[in-house]
Every structure is written in C-alpha cells, then in structure tokens.
Amino acid sequence: MTNLLEVSDVSVTFDGFRAINNLSFAIAEPELRAVIGPNGAGKTTFMDIVTGKTRPDSGRVLWGERQVDLLKLSESQIAKTGIGRKFQKPTVFEEQSVRENLAMALANRRGPFSVLFWKATAHDQARIEELAAEIGLADRVDHRAGDLSHGQKQWLEIGMLLAQEPRLLLVDEPAAGMTPAERAHTTDLLKGAARSRAVMVIEHDMEFIRRLDCRVTVLHEGAVLAEGSLEHVTRNQQVIDVYLGR
C-alpha cells in the first residue's frame, strides 16, 4: 500500500502567524482518515494547501505514483488530477437544479468547447440518477438546489464530489448542523466512498468520528500531535491537554 498523497515539512505563515508548522502527513488509497484538533490548529489551511488555494512557504506536496508536485498546479488542475473538496459551509449552486449541479461535477471533459457541445449520454443520465439515489435525493433531481434542506445540500455536495470520481476526497465538517439520522446517513456515504478511495474528514464531533471507525490524526498549532486509532489518540496525555480536556 503506497501513499497517494504525501505532504512533507510544509509551513505557512500569515502575517507572522505560523498557521502550519513543519507539517508532514500521508494518506494511502483506499483509506478513511479523520483529522481533529482545536480551532486554529490549521485543519482548513491544510486543506487549502493540498487543493492549491494557499501556497506554502516551504515544504513539498507530492501526489500519486508519479510523485506529481501539486504546488506547481492551479486549483482547477489539482481538481482534475483527482482531488475533490467539500467545504465547511455547503456550497452548491442554489439557482440550479440538483441534476445540473451533478452534471457539472461529472467526470467529463472540462474545456469550454467540449462543454458547449456536451450532451448527456445514457451513461451520464444513469450516473446522475445513481448518484442522486445514493445521496437520497432521487425524487428531487429536478428541484432547485436552493430549496433543499441544510443536510440535503451537504449530501448534494458529497454527491458532486463523488461525481468527479476523485481519488482523494477532502471533506470539511460534513456533519455540522445535521440531525442524528442525517449524520448516520453521512457516515455511511463516507465509509462507502472510502472503500475505493482515499477520504480525509475534518470533524469536531467525537461521536461522529467514533462511528467512522478509522485512523485519526490530531493537529495542534499547525503540526501533527498524534496519530493512530481513536482509542490510541484519546489516551494520549498531550491530546487530552490541548483538545479533549477543554
């Protein structure tokens, strides 16, 4: 099992504040990984670096078998190489239907000319229906995304991620603002996705992490504090001091 993503010795400073401090991290394929840590630990900044939104001051981010240097690619190029991202706040295109949202995310060619002449093939149609069923929105494909509930928007965004067919999914607080039943469904979605892919989940809710039942990385002050099973890290005295003890 080789690593799909390898982040080594990455640092980034915002106005003198060290948001990420010599962080090293690796994830394999397939793998489900939870990332926890107190506010300001650098979890979201870490995702920004991997997806190309923020450029680190130093360090390396290597991707895939051919060890592609992600720091040289733009956001859209990184997305095209197979990294999908779900934001903390659900960001779906509210004015458009669930179907249109999913169709945009489908792993088809992204150039303006290809998109201009694009027509949904039977395969595309089937894929959209299949995804809609998976995220529990089968009967709402032609509704405006803006009319969905908060939880449904989160699912739609996960569905869009799956439609991109990425090898690595970065998911930022997927369960925020969800009812317990919705959380259970979200757990199933993520576990299902992690059967064939690398999935990294940032979450605060320990109960949710327990249900994910996976390896956990604890971040603190921009560096990895501990890594291992949930039981292992929750017994770590440092982790208790900076995060759990509060």
Which residues of the chain form contacts with other proteins (CB under 8 A)? 51, 53, 74-76, 79-80, 84-85, 87, 91, 93-96, 100, 103-105, 110-112, 115-116, 118-120, 122-123, 125-127, 129-130, 160, 164
Separation CA 140–CA 124 (nearest Å): 17
Least separation in angstroms between residue 105's CB and other proteins is 6
3-state DSSP assignment of residue 126: helix
Q: Which helix (H) or strand (E) holds 31?
A: strand 31-36
Q: Between 86 and 220, whose beta carbon lies closer to other proteins?
A: 86
Q: Minimum distance from CB of 27 to other proteins (Å)? A: 18
204, two tokens: 């605060």
- Shortest gap between Cβ of 193 and other proteins (angstroms)? 12
Count of residues in the chain: 246
Q: Are 200 and 35 in contact (CB under 8 A)?
A: yes
Q: Which is nearer to other proteins, 1 or 116 (CB)?
A: 116
Query: Please, which contacts does 106-112 make with residues 24 or more away whose CB atoms are closer than 8 Å?
Result: 106/163, 106/164, 107/163, 107/164, 107/165, 110/76, 110/80
Q: If DSSP codes are grouped into helix, strand and coil, which group holds residue 14?
A: strand
Bin 80: left if φ > 0, else alpha if -120 < ψ < 50, else beta. Answer: alpha
CB of 49 to other proteins, least distance (A): 14
CB of 28 or CB of 126, closer to other proteins: 126
Distance CA(97)–CA(232), nearest Å, equals: 44
Q: How far is Cα of residue 52 from the mean position of the Cα atoms in its chain? A: 14
Q: How far is the CB of 94 from other proteins (least distance, A)?
A: 7
CB nearer to other proteins: pick between 146 and 177: 146
From the CB of residue 172, how many other CB atoms can be counted at a distance below 10 Å? 18
Minimum distance of other proteins from residue 132's CB (angstroms): 12
Q: Looking at beta carbons only, is 92 or 242 nearer to other proteins? A: 92
**Minimum CB distance to other proteins smaller for 160 or for 216:** 160
